Copies of this chain bind each other. A is one copy, B any other.
Amino acid sequence: MNFNLKEAMEILERTPKTLEAMLSGLTSDWLHSNEGEGTWNASEVVDHLIECEKTNWIPRMESILNDQERKHFPPFDRFSHLNGQESKTIEQALQEFASLREHNVTKLKKRITCDQLLDLTGIHPEFGEVKMRELLSTWVVHDLTHINQIVRVMAKRYQTDVGPWKAYLSILQK
């Protein structure tokens, strides 16, 4: 086991800056390319991250910290960002994500005041009992997963363009 709160926050704090450096100002072709029908483009991934900041990590953390007997997680729809979005630029979306994340990391710091709290549990709708440390580790890995996805989706725009080098570029085979 490697999780500790300080190191986890290092990643959580960096994700908005990483995405900003990577995506802000890019042409639409990079931002709206996807891996085929039913897959997400870079811009949709940012919308999904925004949705998670609003309805997933912190509400679930609060549910675990809650003193009630049954700590069922509040509902979360991982596709909700695809429905009824108002149109916004990537810069606006990145700014919204950065601001929500900053607020949430502050809340995390304020609420998780000792390691004992990491052993508290909540009820995941599918997995059943899960620990606080598992939820917070997943938050970190979820960030990294979606950075990984954005980068892979963008790389695939040049799937054919790279010619014979494709054999050496495993990202294009995923």
The chain A residues found within 8 Å of chain B, CB to CB, are 1-3, 6-7, 10-11, 14, 17-18, 20-22, 25-27, 29-30, 33, 124, 127, 130-131, 133-134, 137-138, 140-142, 144-145, 147-148, 151-152, 154-155, 157-158, 160-165, 169-172, 174
Contact = CB atoms under 8 A, between A and B. Distances in A.
A146 to B, nearest CB: 9
20 contacts: A1-B161, A2-B29, A2-B158, A2-B160, A3-B161, A7-B30, A11-B154, A18-B18, A134-B164, A137-B158, A137-B161, A138-B163, A141-B155, A141-B162, A144-B151, A144-B155, A145-B155, A148-B152, A151-B151, A174-B174
A21 B11 contact: no
A171 B137 CA distance: 14
Contact of A163 (B14, B134, B155): B134
Contacts of A144: 151-152, 154-155, 171
A134 B165 contact: yes
Nearest to A153: B144
Contacts of A18: 18, 21-22
Interface of A is mostly: helix
Given A2-B29, A7-B27, 7 more contacts: A6-B27, A22-B147, A124-B164, A133-B161, A141-B162, A141-B172, A145-B170
A25 B9 CA distance: 12
Contacts of A174: 174
A33 B10 CA distance: 15
A138 B169 CA distance: 8
Contacts of A137: 158, 161-163, 165
B22 A10 contact: no
